[in-house]
Chain A
Amino acid sequence: MQYAILATFLGGIACAFIGVFVVLLHMPFIGVAMSHAAFAGALFGLLIGVNPLITAFVFSFIVALIIGPLADRGQLSPDTSLGVIFSLMLGIAFLIIGLMPTTRSDALNLLWGSVLTVTRTDILLLAIVAAVVVGMVVVFFKEAQATVFNRQIALSVGLPATLILYVILFMTGATITVSLNSIGGLLIFSLILNPAAAAYQLTYNMKKMFLLAAVFGVASGWAGLLLSYLFDLPSGATIVITSSLIFGVCALFSPKRKTRKMPVKTGSEKHSG
């Protein structure tokens, strides 16, 4: 149980920080595609007898490299190609589950997550990734802030915004990978998105958004664990449902409720005019 509490603490913080980028860059579908790619990659690792974390990260990052240029050109909306990658990864994942000899419990643990059986290695990896993610955000806050605000503007003032974007995608892949064992491939994306989306409802200050997201992430983890323990329910599910409830409450009481959504009309292409 101690490991579970630690795993949800570290995972909650890392996922929340990454989630802030996912929300502000308006790239939820990229995150979903990467999560499913990580899941498919981990299963592939199990099938061929390679450490599933390595294959998870490789798959997830390959998808990021394919999707990154699309994000770069501003095609962040649910694109056909994203939909294809998303469904392809799920298809590969279930194909591999079907091909698995004998017991499939390892594979299913990767699907649902099994926070109560996380190992010391899982905790160590979570701690490293959480420290790197938080450290990078703190040290390179201004670079991240400018890139998230507007990549063209960040480039135009002399920041390497394209590199920064790929570093963010790389850290997203790493966070998803190390969280697979505890939260599972199907649910990890909710833990990335929900706490950050909740924080987004409440503040116009980016530093506060990171802090609030981390608080909500850890709160979802611990409250979810408690519910799972009290009512004997799957922990991954209770954590994700808790995070959704937190989001719901924040959205309901959001001071931004009356703010209209982003306008539909887009700016002109950079090479016209």
Chain B
Amino acid sequence: MPEANIKIENAVVSYREDVVLHGVSLQVNSGEFVGVIGPNGAGKTTLLTIVNGLGNLVSGSVQVLGKTVTKSGRHELRKQVGYVAQIENIDPRMPMSVREVAMIGRYGLLGLFHRPNRYDWRIVDEALAMVGMTHLANRPIGHLSGGEQQRAAIARCLAQEPKIFLLDEPTASLDWKARTDILELVKRIHAARHLTTLFVTHELETLPRTCDRVVLMKEGTIIGDGAPDKMISAENLSRLYDLPLAVIEERHPHINPHGEH
């Protein structure tokens, strides 16, 4: 029986009067690579934030790595969960280098009163090498392109040596080459480290080749969960994005028309 790394049961999340997740249940096993797709406002980002305790769970339960996510235990849990948010605007004049920012991934693990040592820097340098950023290690963090920023963020997560990897639209606002680079990188990392990965994305074209499983989200609920070639169908996309089937078929003729619900 595969080990469940993430177990979400009837999770309800709200921010003031907005209910963002309406009783979502999901189980992700160790080493699985799960893609999450859906329109803006579907609750995809919120789904990620209840896994690392950044979100505001009103009811339901979330178990990560065998432990229930609680307010008091959140900091400890987050040390084992790597999180790449959507591109943050970084101050171009921020006085930190790429290498120093990657080391932030290890700060939670180091604990109070401990400074990074040679071992920690080695882990960081290996992470930078894996994302192809060694040549930019001493560049000021604010002097990177969008694609480079995301690779630096992924290096930061790798340096953390997490058990779970959460990526929130890491390719948003990147050009085609940067997008494909990031997707290939994430695929390579998953192949090398078998991290349990939740990957929120709009990359429908490349999704089937990257993920083991796809979850469809709409209006705060999960409306589909299964193999990519079954989930990414014209019928499902039409339901998901409220577009007529004919429009989907016209815009994406290579997507298979039918899939299971």
Residue ranges of A at the interface with B (Cβ–Cβ < 8 Å): 24, 26, 139-143, 145-146, 149-150, 152-160, 200, 203-206, 208-209, 256, 259-263, 265-268, 270-273
Contact B96–A159 (Cβ < 8 Å): no
Task: Name the residue on A nearest B110 (C-beta).
Answer: A142
User: Interface of B with A (CB < 8 Å)?
Assistant: 13, 15, 18, 20, 40-46, 49, 52, 54-55, 75-79, 81, 83, 85-97, 100-101, 103-110, 112-113, 115-116, 140-143, 156, 160, 168-169, 200
**Which listed residue, A140, A142, A152, A200, touches B116 by the CB 8 Å rule?**
A142
Known: A154-B104, A270-B49, A273-B42. 15 other contacts (CB 8 A): A24-B91, A24-B95, A143-B112, A150-B88, A153-B85, A155-B54, A200-B95, A204-B96, A205-B97, A206-B100, A256-B93, A262-B92, A270-B85, A271-B18, A271-B20
| A143 partner residues in chain B, CB cutoff 8 A | 107, 112
Contacting residue for B89 out of A155, A204, A262, CB 8 A:
A262
**B45 contacts A259, C-beta separation under 8 Å:** no
A-B pairs with lowest CB-CB distance, top 3: A158-B108, A273-B45, A158-B79
A124 CA / B69 CA spacing, docked (Å): 46
Residues in chain B near residue A205, CB distance under 8 A = 95-97
**A157-B160 contact in complex given A24-B94, A262-B91, C-beta closer than 8 Å:** yes
In the bound complex, residues from chain A placing their C-beta under 8 Å from that of B20 are 271
A272 to B49, CA, bound (A): 11
Interface CB pairs A-B, < 8 A, 8: A145-B96, A152-B85, A157-B104, A159-B108, A200-B93, A200-B95, A204-B93, A206-B100
* Known contacts A158-B78, A158-B79, A271-B46; A146 and B97 CB within 8 A of each other: no
Contacting pair B142 A157 (CB below 8 A): no
Please state if A158 and B104 are interface contacts (CB–CB under 8 Å).
Answer: no
- Contact status of A204 and B115, CB under 8 A, knowing A268-B86, A272-B40: no
Contacts of A150 in B (CB 8 A): 88, 90
Q: Is B45 a contact partner of A272 (Cβ separation < 8 A)? A: yes
Nearest CB on A from B77, distance (A): 8
* Nearest A residue (CB) for B103: A142
In the bound assembly, the distance between CA atoms of A270 and B41 in angstroms comes to 11
Nearest neighbor of B217 in chain A, beta-carbon distance: A273
A261 to B89, CA, bound (A): 11
Contact B107 A146 (CB under 8 A): yes
Do A263 and B200 contact each other (CB < 8 Å), given the known contacts A158-B78, A158-B79?
Answer: no
Q: Does the CB pair A265–B89 fall under 8 Å?
A: yes
| A156/B75 in contact, CB under 8 A | no
Q: Which of A26, A153, A156, A272 has the most CB of B within 10 A?
A: A156
How many Å from the CB of B198 to the closest CB on chain A?
13
Instruction: Verify B88–A152 contact, CB threshold 8 A.
Output: yes
CB distance from B109 to the nearest CB of A (A): 7
Complex interface: chain B residues within 8 A of A149 (CB): 94, 96, 101, 104, 141
State whether A259 touches B15 (Cβ < 8 A): no
CA distance in complex: A206, B95 (Å): 5
